[in-house]
Structure 1
Amino acid sequence: MMKKALVAIVAVLFASEYLPAQDPSFRPAEQSSSSRRRTTPAQTNSTEAAPAPTRDDSSVAASRIMSMQSLDDVRPLMIGDRISLKIVEDPEKVLSLDVQDSGDIQAPYIGLVKAAGRTCKQVAVSMKSKLEEQYFQRATVIIALEKAVRSKFGPNMVPDDMGYVTIYGQVGRQGKYELAPEEELTVSQAILRAGGFTQFAKTKKVKVIRKRPGQNSITYEINLHDVMTKGRLEKDILIRPNDVIIVDEKLINF
């Protein structure tokens, strides 16, 4: 009996020496911090901000749209707006373009394109047609508003009382142009917004027809030749909403 008890005690002492993991006070040696980082690369410091991925900020607005059918066809673009533009078939990066004081954007391949007063979709459709005439068999043009002009009307609003000036005749682009309330726009500036005079424009007698409620219309003749070449700014009058500007063709004697 005593012999069996002695054997049991020896067995316990042997186990305590060679099986340390069974000792409640045993703690395995910890790896060094550098070793731990190497063996567990997925562990990161949650309080450390990860670096933001680099990207071209100008491409954000247009890159989210994949079809011309999805383009905005409600809000007309305004002078001072910034748009992002991409041609899907062109590998170049998305462009960030401002609507210039003339109302145009400087589009790739085709140059100046009227933007003010048109929606993103209307500008894109116009560009698509011109690009397919000369440069692409098929062109998919994506245009999106990147930054709206800051105005008293709000970043994404067009005032209800927005007026217009209509320009006919020998200018780059005949048409109807927005005239915001209290906007001071002269006749010469309106002509520049319409793309300037053509080669045969009668610049010395530009007509401005002004409608007057309850009265007959009044017609002014403005010598824009003197305004633009001689600096006679006193001859350049301010236009009003609903004015009509007519630039006649000058007579050429052969």
Structure 2
Amino acid sequence: MRRLLLFLLAACLAVGAFAGAEGYKIRVGDELSVKVREAPELNGDYLVAEDGTIVFPEVGTVKAAGRTVAEVARDIRKGLEGGYLARASVQVVVSHYTPVRYYVLGRVRNPGAFEMEPGIPVTLLQALAFAGGLTEDADPSRIKIIRKNENTFTVDLAPAFSAGDASNDIFVREGDIVIVLKKQDRFAYVFGAVGSPGRIDFPGESGSLPLGAVVALAGGFRELTDGEIQIFPPNPSGDVRPQVIPLGETGLTREAFVVPVEPRQTVFVLDRKTKIYVLGKVRKPGPIPYRKGLTILEAVALAGGLAEGSAENRTKLITSNPDGTKKVAEINLSKLLSADKGDSVKDIELSPRTIIVVPESRF
């Protein structure tokens, strides 16, 4: 209810904010009523033709489309005073408007095509209200506008819904396609020495979560004496420098507890004494003792093999570079598993402090 009241308040504020909008621009198909006080025989209604003009007696062709009624009246007056009348007083009004359409799609209750009366501007907030308002899974901070002959852009109306602040509101134009996007899922992945490794969902509208809360949602620390936490950005690839947070016997320090974890980041909780981790969709995820010559297929086998629902063709191999950065590579385990002795595809020998992550299949 509070969100609805704030939305209505913002829409009302928008009306006042745009009350001083520029004059209406005449469009093809509009009908203009023209009156000349000194020559009533010229009075009548004139349709704006496809070429954007009207043909006025004693004046000829007058450009109308894209101009205001004041500009058209001025041109007619000048034309009449050029010969037909010594002085002319001309009034032009739009007697019939061509319908102006725009479209609202996506996460609204009544998506579709809508008409607005030309000359009466409609703001984005009002357009959303006419479409029944936002659905529960709508993201008011990501409203996409597809506009003719312009780049597509995004409008953030979250302040309007949270605080009644309509300062980001804009006019809707003819032909605009408004798409309200779905609220993005907010989650992170936590692997390693925690009670429930895997995906954890952020509660409520949280933009980020403190590291301590993320670890708690993942079941807390498990059998960790001397370790570190590595936080990787979303979809890491190539050389990456993760944020490294050391852990002591008491776990996280007060400063480390509040380190923000952003949506879609990956958090690894690792024991420094462990040289290899095999995580994700394997039967026994966790640490593997390192030995020289250990290969990726052997490590996966020592972790119990692939679990049901694994996407082994998108396995992530994270190794350490000398400068402290991490190299993230995608490995297709399916090819390694199916390779014959004569094939050029060879098993990969692992280096110390390697992390192997077998992701979950998307299907």
What range is the shorter-chain TM-score in? 0.3 to 0.5
TM-score by length of 2: 0.25
More helix by share: 1
More strand by share: 2
Larger radius of gyration between Structure 1 and Structure 2: 1
TM-score by length of 1: 0.35
